[in-house]
């Protein structure tokens, strides 16, 4: 099993819809989890950290399921500007983080 | 968060030559990282650059091929040596900028093409 796995997509979603994607991780001792967003030909940017109790930032909600070893990202009322690749990032061991390959999201007008 | 710049933003180089990429941060940071992102792939950590000590390289990356300097807390360089077309990639530096551990912020990247 890969350390971090994501569905590569693409997810083609109409504007205004809700979309969710998951990311699974293999190391049950992982402590820190993040979602990054990467626009085409740009650097990754931190979208949000994922806390054990789940957290929300505007239209974005991140959740952690330790029992099943996955994190999720929910985007409500999607905008055209949400089109990007979303990278799942996990800290499986000290001082290292592992990036998933990303899930491509296309918001359709 | 820290503002990070990289030079050059892109370059086209001949095989066998070397390129040095610079990473400048607008504040002092302890941890700086160098990543590679090959076309259609995610990010792979090359090494961690700490000021005052040698860089720590990940499996598959060696100092002779990717020498790194970290002369102070705001600057680092990565050299890609004796380049081959397989080195064509985007190279990114990143920093941990306080806040929550392992939260990293990235420079804009250097797009390298080796012919």
Pair B7, B21: CB distance under 8 Å: yes
Question: Residues of A with CB below 8 A from B41's CB?
Answer: 101
DSSP string, B33-75: EEEEE-TT--EEEEEEEETTS--EEPTT--TTTS-EEEEETTE
Mean pLDDT to the nearest integer, B25-30: 92
Q: In this predicted structure, what is the pLDDT of residue A80?
A: 97
Q: Would you say residue B92 has pLDDT above 90?
A: yes
DSSP string, B5-24: EEE-SEEEE-TT--EEEEEE
Q: Would you say residue B103 has pLDDT above 80?
A: yes
Question: Residues of A with CB below 8 A from B105's CB?
Answer: 45-46
Helix %, strand %, coil % of chain A (to 5):
5, 60, 40
Q: In this predicted structure, what is the pLDDT of residue A61?
A: 97
Interchain contact, A43 vs B106, CB within 8 Å: yes
Q: In this predicted structure, what is the pLDDT of residue B101?
A: 74
Q: In this predicted structure, what is the pLDDT of residue A104?
A: 96
d(CA B71, CA B52): 7
Using CA atoms, how far residue A62 sits from A11, A39, A91, B29, B83, in Å, is 18, 19, 16, 28, 41
pLDDT means per 10 residues in chain A (109 residues)?
89 97 92 94 93 92 95 97 96 82 96
Q: Would you say residue B98 has pLDDT above 70?
A: no
Interchain contact, A34 vs B48, CB within 8 Å: no
Q: In this predicted structure, what is the pLDDT of residue A10?
A: 94
């Amino acid at each position: 099993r890969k350390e971090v796995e994501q569905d590569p997509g693409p997810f083609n979603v109409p504007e205004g819809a809700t979309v969710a994607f998951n990311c699974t991780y293999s190391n049950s001792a992982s402590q820190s989890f993040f979602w990054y967003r990467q626009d085409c030909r740009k650097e990754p940017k931190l979208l949000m950290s994922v806390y054990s109790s789940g957290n929300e930032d505007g239209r974005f909600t991140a959740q952690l399921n330790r029992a099943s070893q996955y994190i999720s990202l929910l985007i409500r009322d999607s905008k055209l500007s949400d089109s990007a690749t979303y990278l799942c990032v996990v800290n499986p061991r000290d001082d290292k983080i592992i990036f998933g390959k990303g899930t491509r999201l296309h918001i359709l007008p | 968060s820290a503002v990070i710049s990289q030079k050059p933003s892109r370059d086209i180089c001949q095989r066998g030559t070397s390129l040095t990429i610079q990473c400048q941060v607008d504040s002092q940071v302890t941890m700086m990282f160098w990543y590679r992102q090959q076309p259609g792939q995610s990010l792979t950590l090359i090494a961690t650059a700490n000021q005052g000590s040698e860089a720590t390289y990940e499996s598959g990356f060696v100092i002779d091929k990717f020498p790194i300097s970290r002369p102070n807390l705001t600057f680092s360089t990565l050299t890609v040596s004796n380049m081959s077309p397989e080195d064509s990639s985007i190279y990114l530096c990143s920093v941990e900028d306080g806040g929550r551990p392992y939260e990293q912020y990235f420079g804009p990247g250097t797009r390298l093409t080796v012919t």
